[in-house]
Amino acid sequence: MLNKDSVSLEGKVALVTGGGAGIGRAIAQAYGALGARVAVAEISAEKVSALREELADAGVDALVSQTDVRDSAQVADFLAEVDKRYARLDILVNNVGDHLGMVKTLEQMSEEEWDQVYQINLRHLFVVTKAALPLMRRSGEGGSIINVSSIEGFRANPYNVIYTCCKHAVTGFTRTMALELANDNIRVNTIAPETTDSEQVPLEYLLKPGHAGELLGKPAYLTRTLPSNRFGRPDDHAGAAVFLATELSSWVNGSTINVDGGGLAAAGFQRIPSGPWTIIPEVTGTGVQGVD
């Protein structure tokens, strides 16, 4: 029977990549608050220092290292440090990912740009997971791998086709690894965020005030396509990451949780100013061919 200990991570060791900001940081903080010892691979020296201080202030036993997850030698060194310090690994969160601000058609994109987006969104899942598995297997108690994808893994995202390809590929990685690791009792799942306020997506700066007016008393960009009427917060994803790391999700494997305020459910539907949803938005007249 489930009880309050079902969300406890006491005795567990979690590794979060890109834990210095945004979604990764919220996950590292949440895991620490629930009793886990937390290892973080973060590329920015400044963020490494800030997170070290933050986790120490919160009383979390943490190992925060300046590591570029695209570099297999750095990843191997970091895993060796985690092994030396904790001698086990129960939870791996492959969180690093970045659209790199690319807004280009396929024809405008260079081969170098294609490779850069691939490196930061897909290749490191292979590098980090491969390096982490021997330590994850060590305890013989199984574990949980959580990949952070995107809602763009389930729909088109024009003007960054390689980002969209990589996020779609995370689903294949997740499903395949769930089978390959089944005999080790290591579950593999994905979180797919919709637009979430973070360093990479700083909504306060990105959004034009007053854009597209108001709908239902809020900025229309929140209410027109998102049933939950707001963008995401890093903690929304931390909640899903806690679920996927604990026994609450013990029978969830090879799955994706869309943490998206209902955005994917809405798909092509949009709200009209009076509130109802339509699949034929923004048209004058009836929206039906041949009928004015």
Residue 142 or 227 having the CB closest to ligand NAD: 227
Total residues contacting ligand NAD (rule CB under 6 A)?
30
d(CA 98, CA 80): 26
Side-chain-side CA neighbours of 269 within 13 Å: the count stands at: 14
Question: Are 282 and 270 contacting, i.e. CB atoms less than 8 angstroms apart?
Answer: yes
Task: Based on the shown chain and the rule CB under 6 A, indicate whether residue 164 belongs to the binding site for ligand NAD.
Answer: no
For position 125 contacting ligand NAD by CB under 6 A, the verdict is no
Q: Of these residues, 31, 86, 163, 221, which one is catalytic?
A: 163
Question: 271 and 277 in contact (C-beta within 8 Å)?
Answer: yes
Produce one character per residue of 119-154: b if its CB has 16 or more CB atoms within 10 Å, e if not. Answer: bbbbebbebbbebbbebbbeeeeebbbbbbbbbbbb
Name the one range near ligand NAD by CB under 6 A: 30-38, 192-200, 215-223, 264-272: 192-200
The rounded distance, in Å, linking the Cα atoms of 292 and 286 is 6
Residue 175 phi/psi, 5-degree rounding, is -65, -45
> Which of 8, 33, 61, 70 is in the footprint of ligand NAD by CB under 6 A?
70
22 contacts ligand NAD (rule: CB under 6 A): yes
Shortest CB 186 distance to ligand NAD, Å: 20
Q: Does 95 bind ligand NAD (CB under 6 A)?
A: yes
The CB-of-213 to ligand NAD minimum distance in angstroms stands at 23
Given 68, 93, 244, 258, the residue binding ligand NAD (CB under 6 A): 68
Helix (H) or strand (E) holding 214: strand 214-215
Under a CB-based contact definition with an 8 Å cutoff, are residues 37 and 14 in contact? Answer: yes
HSE-up of residue 234 (Cα within 13 Å, Cβ side): 21
Residues 205-244 that bind ligand NAD (CB under 6 A): none
Q: Which stretch binds ligand NAD (CB under 6 A): 36-44, 127-135, 240-248, 262-270?
A: 36-44
| Residues in Cβ contact with 166 at an 8 Å cutoff, skipping those fewer than 6 apart | 97, 117, 118, 121, 122
150 binds ligand NAD (CB under 6 A): yes
For residue 3, give the amino acid letter. N
Minimal distance, residue 168 CB to ligand NAD, in Å: 13
Task: Mark residues 101-120: x for contact with ligand NAD by CB under 6 A, - for none.
Answer: -------------------x
Contact range with ligand NAD by CB under 6 A, out of 77-85, 90-98, 108-116, 180-188: 90-98
Regarding 200 and contact with ligand NAD (CB under 6 A), the answer is: yes
Q: Is 86 a catalytic residue?
A: no
Residue closer to ligand NAD, measured from CB, 21 or 182: 21
Active site residues: 163
